[in-house]
Chains A and B, each alone.
Chain A
Amino acid sequence: MTEILQYVQKDGFFHRLAPLTKILFVIIVGTMSIVSTSITFLVSVIIALLVIAFIAGLHREVLRQFLLIAVMSVILIFITVITLPGGTTLFVIGGIIPITTGGLLIGIIMTLRFAVLITAIQLFVLSTQPRDLVHTLERMKVPADYTLMFVIALRFIPTLQIEGHRIHEAQLARGYNPGSGVGGKIRSVAPVMIPLVSNSLARSNVLGLTIDLRGYRTKVRTPLRERHLKGLDYFVIVMLVLVGVAFFVFDAYAAGLI
């Protein structure tokens, strides 16, 4: 089973960055991709992210998600093309649905934005230990409850995947044949989702107690194996800020604001 969004133990340059630097990285890259409407720019950001992933030794994990992104883009482009017509009509499907350049353009831009966001967040999650993340967010005065919620949500993805698979097998063994495709998925909701949710709820009780017993509500913490900003971090932060400023100046200029 392929694992989604799990920390990978490695010694790449991205792993060596402090969590704060990486949070900044996600914010700046994310904002730029949301603001930008240039296909050329978005494609070059994706290429840059892939180059970073390659240098950081995370290209295998990141590339694995591209299948998901590809499937999502097809759906996304399809929806935008039929719901947001604009520009010149290229051709008409079945005499009803017009395929327009405007629709296609918006679809492609949306897809590229998602690809940037998914890849950037993935680089962050794959290379940051949840403990370090908890510490960083704690220092940024984010309440412990929210931080732990985020960490636990990530941590239980593989557990739910494994459990869902087991439940599915157990129901198959009871002669259950929901069929394939979308219809099958909908029919299999009750027999698979009900045990999955019930078991998870039972588990959340123990999880809550565990967090309390480990003292996560006390504000005490020994500063242990801290991830302070180092030379590499400062370098990356300066680069990020430069790229960010350049982007916004250029964008404002292109929009005729300056």
Chain B
Amino acid sequence: MIRLESVSYAYPHTGKPALTNLSLSIGKGQCVMITGPSGSGKTTLCLASAGILAHEYGGKKEGTVTIDGRDVKSYKDLSDIASNLGIVFDDPEAQLIFTTVEEEILSALERRGLRVDEIEDRLRVIMEMTKLTALKDRAPHTLSGGQKQRLVLAVTLALETGILILDEPTSELDEHGTNGILEILKGLKAQGRTILIVEHKFLRMREIVDTLVVMEDGRIRASGAPDEVIRDQGMQKIVMPDFSGIRERNRGDGVTGIPSPLIRVHGLSHTYGEDIHALFDIDLTISSGEFIAIVGENGSGKTTLIKHFNGLLKATGGSVSVSGKDAAKTTITELARDVGLVFQNPDHMFFADTVREEVAFGVDNLGIPDRDVVIDHALTRVRLTHAKDLYPRWLSRGERQRLAIACVLAMKPAVIALDEPTTGLDGKEAREVMEVLKELQLAGHTVIIVTHSKEIARDCADRVITMENGKIISDILTPGERP
């Protein structure tokens, strides 16, 4: 259905090859999963396969791409291609144009020259399939991440194309949201659709994947039946995240002194607006040198809880104290000296021209002495010294995540809290981030991570706190029974 022959491509502004001599053939009804490090050309491959590179982009292009046996260049324009192929990009927000769920799906249906009754029929079927019927009058920006992703998928399904291309549809979703997407994909595969999916969650998608492709530096490193591909040790590291051994590393050597309580949470409640209860009566003590994972579904209150540690949110009931200071009475700038918070999307903070200046921002804000030494030290810690003069937004997602950590680390907080630090990273990159965090713990920091990943919680953290509906339902020290 899709065929790429010796495709090479370089984006006009960088000139650096994004794809190099790449060939790939996807048969009818096949499900091909593409994985690999961030910045390896996965999204570019999607754009090439959909004919978007050929029609909408400048830059150096070589090789041929065919869809349904026809050269992509012979299609009139994108809407001509869209009658054979549907593509879902990785940012759902940018693909939702209208103000209600139903309107959004209709906007795709009405441009196909269908009859009115056909449209109403398809609308009903698609909303049922993607479980959006109950949400049909909701505004897209009020939906959860999983619901948005299902809606974007629904709009693409409305086009009823034989081929579907999905770019990281589950990267920001929790287990529940990922299951929702997986169920839909299973149904589509059963209908005989051809699916090209960029994903990091191989283990979850395994049952539908026929061919696994691993990319690196714009080339295909491995391609074939999943079991054969992961037989290679190097490939396995990229495809299947493995965090084993991180928790046990150097246990007991680095940490000096007796742990003392740093953060005390007492009877904490938080209510957004008048009636959205996000946290109920939380009691928690976090001591120096701990490595804590907070797990739970989307909307269970994890992010709301950690935002209280640096004063971004103030308790609506109960109290939070950080290093003996009452968080309600201390300014955010003051608390930033004790607690550094790294948000889920690193792009929400970058504005400087170079990586070094970016790190310097927080250091200067707090007036930390030995500025240059501190900045270099932070960049070394996160393994980014080679990139210090680059423009932050040119880095790969994995590097940007580590830069975000450096920005906070350079401010020398006792506690570093991170919201989903492995979003959008492959197995190897995710492990790198977790290793950096472990080293920070060994250097005396307290590390708190919010994560969806059970593997990370099990293999990296010393203590796992599980939240549900704004309450802590379990708080256990990870037993050290593993050798």
Contacts and interface: CB of A to CB of B under 8 A. Distances in A.
24 contacts: A129-B100, A130-B99, A159-B93, A163-B348, A169-B312, A173-B310, A173-B340, A173-B341, A173-B408, A174-B336, A174-B361, A174-B407, A177-B332, A195-B347, A198-B393, A202-B91, A203-B91, A206-B95, A209-B56, A220-B111, A222-B110, A222-B113, A222-B115, A224-B106
A176 B333 CA distance: 7
Nearest to A151: B97
Interface string B239-261: 00000000000000000000000
A162 to B, nearest CB: 7
A6 B139 contact: yes
A198 B347 contact: yes
A167 B349 contact: yes
A130 B139 CA distance: 12
B106 A175 contact: no
Interface in A133-159: 148, 151-152, 155, 158-159
B112 A222 contact: yes
Given A175-B365, A177-B365, A224-B116, A129 B99 contact: yes
Contacts of A162: 141
A195 B99 contact: no
Contact of B343 (A173, A203, A218): A173
Contacts of A211: 97
Contact of B111 (A170, A215, A225): A215
A106 to B, nearest CB: 38
Given A174-B411, A195-B347, A214-B82, A7 B366 contact: no
Contacts of B351: 190-191, 194-195, 198
B111 A177 contact: no
SS of A interface (majority): helix
B87 interface: yes
Given A177-B365, A209-B78, A9 B110 contact: no
B380 interface: no
A52 B78 CA distance: 44
Given A175-B362, A206-B91, A214-B82, A129 B103 contact: yes
B202 interface: no
B365 A174 contact: yes
Contacts of B114: 222
**Interface size, B (range):** 35 or more
A210 B91 contact: no
Given A175-B366, A198-B351, A214-B107, 12 more contacts: A129-B103, A166-B345, A173-B312, A174-B408, A174-B411, A175-B411, A176-B361, A209-B52, A209-B78, A212-B77, A216-B79, A224-B110
A218 B411 contact: no
Contacts of B52: 209
Contacts of B89: 206, 209-210
A162 B86 CA distance: 29
A162 B362 CA distance: 23
Q: Which 5 pairs of residues, A with B, have the shortest CB-CB distance?
A: A215-B111, A194-B351, A175-B365, A174-B362, A206-B94
Nearest to B111: A215
Nearest to B90: A206
Contacts of B291: none
B128 interface: no
A212 B82 CA distance: 9
B137 interface: yes
A217 interface: yes
A148 B98 CA distance: 10
A207 B94 CA distance: 5
Interface in B88-131: 89, 91, 93-100, 103, 106-116, 119-120
A195 B407 CA distance: 15
Interface string B336-357: 1100110101011111000000
Residue of A151, A159, A175 with most chain B CB atoms under a 10 A cut-off: A175
Contacts of A220: 111-113
A200 B121 CA distance: 35
A155 B350 contact: no
B160 to A, nearest CB: 13
B100 A7 contact: yes
B32 to A, nearest CB: 21
Of A6, A130, A158, A172, which is in contact with the most chain B CB atoms at under 10 Å from its CB? A172
Nearest to B78: A212
A131 B103 contact: yes
B271 interface: no
Contacts of A131: 98, 103, 106-107
A202 B94 CA distance: 9
B25 interface: no
B331 interface: yes
A258 interface: no
Nearest to A173: B341
B110 to A, nearest CB: 5
Contact of A203 (B56, B93, B348): B93
